[in-house]
Amino acid sequence: MIVSVIYTLTRKRLIMFEAVLSFFDVNNTFFTLFGYSISYLEFTGTLFNLASVILVARRSIWNWPVAIIGVILFGILFYQIQLYADFFEQIYYFITGFWGWYLWQTHKKSKEDNTVHTTINTRKANIVWVIGIIIASAILSFILHNLNVWLPALFPEPASMVEIDATTTIMSFAATILMILRRVESWVLWIAVDVIAVWLYWYKEVPFIALLYLTFLGIAIRGFIAWRKEYLKGKEA
């Protein structure tokens, strides 16, 4: 009797564990779109990341916890399709998500209002950011080219689309910091990243993410307009 109960409980736990593993498997198809298979992992991560971008365009502090869940899911996805730069990018987003959450909390308009004010960089600061992005992209490209040589156990396959992947990753890193600092220029970088990402992810045969970034592009344009409007409004006040 006791053995039977233990066996039943153990079997149920194994079935649940297998279901969880199946959910995180990029090869487990949820549905097909335009002839391409969309996994449960890709679909769910897409929803969370889409929600976070919509919230950040509205300057809502709640974009950060939603984004943290999304980057965890995308991190697992990108590792499985050998986009290692994007995988590390999700780790970065995970850490900066908590940083951004904290800083935006301290810059809320009021206790009742969960939105924040926006600001802009100086011209000199923008030049420094551009130079930094170029240098950092070159360094990351070199690292990605050698990951499978230095750490073959963790990265058995060579990274793909290295230069493009590295550049968009560094641009995204910079855009995230600027967004945490509430700079309007963050959206300029996001627009550039989204344009490149639409093509990259379609090429890598993850079309749902490509369509997601196409949506991100539209939101980024609207975000730039809204944040700039908020900045000018505050400047006039």
Let me know: does 200 contact 164? Beta carbons within 8 Å.
Answer: yes
DSSP string, 79-127: HHTT-HHHHHHHHHHHHHHHHHHHHHHHTBSSSS--BB--B---HHHHH
Which pLDDT belongs to residue 7? 44
Tell me, what amino acid is at 90?
Answer: Q
Which pLDDT belongs to residue 138? 95
- Which residue, 30, 24, 35, 36, is CA-closest to 79? 24
Pairing verdict, β 36-39 and 29-33: antiparallel
Q: How far is CA 139 from the centre of its chain?
A: 21
**In angstroms, rounded to a whole number, what is the distance separating the alpha carbons of residues 116 and 61?**
8
Look up tokens 């810059």; give the residue: 107
DSSP state of 237: -
Which pLDDT belongs to residue 21? 57
Q: What's the token pair of residue 14?
A: 């194994």
Average pLDDT, consecutive stretches of 10 residues, N- to C-terminus, the chain (237 residues): 52 52 73 78 88 90 94 89 79 93 82 80 96 96 89 81 86 94 95 91 77 88 93 76
Q: If residue 197 lies in a helix (H) or strand (E), which one and from where to where?
A: helix 185-203
Query: How many Cβ atoms from other residues are within 10 Å of residue 83's Cβ?
Result: 24
**In angstroms, rounded to a whole number, what is the distance separating the alpha carbons of residues 199 and 207?**
9
Query: How many Cβ atoms from other residues are within 10 Å of residue 167's Cβ?
Result: 21
Q: How far is CA 73 from the centre of its chain?
A: 10
CB proximity list for 212: less than 8 A, separation 6 or greater:
46, 49, 50
3-state secondary structure (DSSP) of residue 25: coil
3-state secondary structure (DSSP) of residue 183: strand
**E strands in the chain:** 29-33, 36-39
**In angstroms, rounded to a whole number, what is the distance separating the alpha carbons of residues 22 and 11?**
16
Hey, which residues does 39 pair with through a beta bridge? 29
